[in-house]
Amino acid sequence: MVVTMSARTVRCTLIGDGMVGKTCLAKVFSDKTFPDQYVATVQDSYSGQAWFGGDQYNISITDSAGEHEGSDVRRVSYGKSDVILLCYSVLDRESYASLRTHWSKEVGSLAKRCPVLVVALQTDKRASKHVTKEEGRGMSKLIKANGFIECSSKNVNDVKDVFENVVRMCLRNRKRKANLLKRVLGR
């Protein structure tokens, strides 16, 4: 079987409140640099490579704005995504609560069949008063996400794990769609 380059391209969109670390995650993955200062994002694109199952995949990342008010630019990116990353900072309980009150609802209405990975960011700064791993897993189940992972963008291995999970989720979803199509077509 010949695998085309487009079959090895995975598109994902990072969403979540502002200042939770979405851009840091994307920049560390794409060019291995950790940003020195915060710059608000309207929408940026990044790309990098991840390995999964012995194969290399190109990851195309859309880093979206964190404003809750209707971002038409962000909403267009949902339709082009293979996986949505719902991001929050473990330091910011409001960003965590927004997963349930805002972001999961937006994704549910605009990207119903797209796999969702909840990503807890800034774990290197966590203290006892911050959002715990158990709370993050619980939120992931509550909003019916397809997975949960924690990450410190300062730790390159954590970042690598996030995007290996993105590839795995994308491939699983593509296989599910192909099997469904075979059943519908009777082949």
Over residues 161-186, the mean pLDDT reads 86
In a domain, 99, yes or no: yes
Distances 165 to 38, 67, 146, 182 between C-alpha atoms, Å = 26, 26, 10, 26
Name the domain count of the chain: 1
pLDDT tens for each residue of 126-165: 999 999 999 999 999 999 999 999 999 988 889 999 999 9
Mean local confidence (pLDDT), 46-74: 86
Residues 24, 124 contacting (CB under 8 angstroms):
no
Query: Residue 96's Cα: distance from chain center in Å?
Result: 15
**Residue range 11-25, pLDDT digits in tens:** 999 999 999 999 999
> Is 1 among the domain residues?
no
Quick check: is 187 in a domain?
A: no
Cβ neighbours of 71 (radius 10 Å): 17
User: Quick check: helix, strand or coil at residue 93?
Assistant: helix
DSSP-derived secondary structure for 119-171? EEE-GGG--TTS--HHHHHHHHHHTT-SEEEE--TTSHHHHHHHHHHHHHHHH
Range of the domain at 43: 6-182
- The Cα–Cα gap between 111 and 88 comes to 19
Query: Residue 134 falls within a domain, yes or no?
Result: yes
Q: Does any domain span residue 21?
A: yes
Give the domain CATH number at 57. Answer: 3.40.50.300
pLDDT band at residue 2 under the 50/70/90 scheme: very low
Mean pLDDT of the chain: 89
Q: Quote the CA–CA distance of 131 and 162 in Å, as a whole number.
A: 19
Distance CA 162, CA 184 (A): 33
Q: How far apart are CA 44 and CA 29, in angstroms?
A: 14
CA–CA separation, 111 and 135 (whole Å): 24
pLDDT band at 38 (very low <50, low <70, confident <90, very high): low
Q: What is the pLDDT of residue 33?
A: 85
Residue 146 falls within a domain, yes or no?
yes
